[in-house]
Structure 1
């Protein structure tokens, strides 16, 4: 878990000031059927919101915890990330993720074993969910940086 936390903090440190340095035209450019870089960052905000709730709720709701999926495309559109100021969007992304880091640092070994039932009825644990979140974040940051 410690490696995932270190990687997570590194991703936040390396990118929190970077996004606002990207040319606005590049940030807002969309290819057919794809999100713009700004919309990808917005998707990461939505992901942070949902995972912050999951990583918190699992500690007090009935076990196994039932994962609730969300409509990623609708959320990106409804939240209008394509028109949001990049500095404001980055601050929101960073703030949410700093809170997730706090939760990850505070979680105990027993909680890491809590089971999560996904929508397809497969089962993972909190540790997998947290480390997968960091991998998901890195994947999309790489898309923004490319």
Structure 2
């Protein structure tokens, strides 16, 4: 997991510089597609949700079900498109992920094996969840940069 945590740390440092260099972050390709600002806002929502998932799993001895969330509603209700500048969203994204990094840095090898039950009754570990989080982030960052 150390390599993945190092990659995450590197993304936290490099992504703001790269996104600041982009133009046209407000452009919506269609009314039903997210703008680059909204995609970055979605990544803020994802950071919030995953931070909560880790805290919940690390602080509970109970069996937990992996809670999903309504990502389109979150983006719409947070109104990333109209209520924030790209700089404000970048600041939020950086702060949320930096806070998440503190939790991750203190997880023991045994804790990475702690499990959630997914919606389809499969068991997933914190290790799997973090790997999925990074893959999800990179997917959306590629959309922003593409």
Q: TM-score band (shorter)?
A: over 0.9
Secondary structure of 1:65's counterpart equals coil
Shift of 1:29: 1.2
Greater than 4 Å deviation, 4+ residue runs: none
Displacement of 1:20: 2.5
Counterparts of 1:47 and 1:116, CA distance in 2: 17
**Residue correspondence of structure 1 range 89-104 to structure 2 within 5 A:** 89-104=89-104
Total equivalences in the alignment: 144
Aligned partners of 2:74 and 2:115: how far apart in 1?
27
Give the drift of 1:80. 0.3
Q: Deviations over 1:45-77 (max 9, x none)?
A: 000000011111101224332111100000000
**Could you tell me the TM-score, scaled by structure 2's length?**
0.93
1:21 aligns with 2:14: no
Structure 2: gaps spanning 5 or more residues: none
Residue 122 of structure 1 pairs with residue 122 of structure 2? yes
Within 1, Cα distance between the matches of 2:65 and 2:109? Answer: 20
Hey, what does 2:66 align to over in structure 1? 67
Q: Is the CA contact (8 Å cut-off) linking 1:63 and 1:114 kept in structure 2?
A: no
Equivalent-residue separation in structure 2 for 1:93 and 1:120 (angstroms): 30
> What is the CA–CA distance in structure 2 between the aligned matches of 1:56 and 1:100, rounded to whole Å?
9
Asked if structure 2 preserves the Cα contact closer than 8 Å seen for 1:11 and 1:138, the reply is: no
Q: Distance in 2 between matches of 1:123 and 1:29?
A: 39
User: Partner of 2:17: helix, strand, or coil?
Assistant: coil
CA shift, 1:135, in A, is 1.2
Deviation, 1:10, is 1.4
**TM-score of the superposed pair, with normalisation by structure 1:** 0.93
State the SS of the aligned residue for 1:116. Answer: strand
Aligned to 2:29: 31
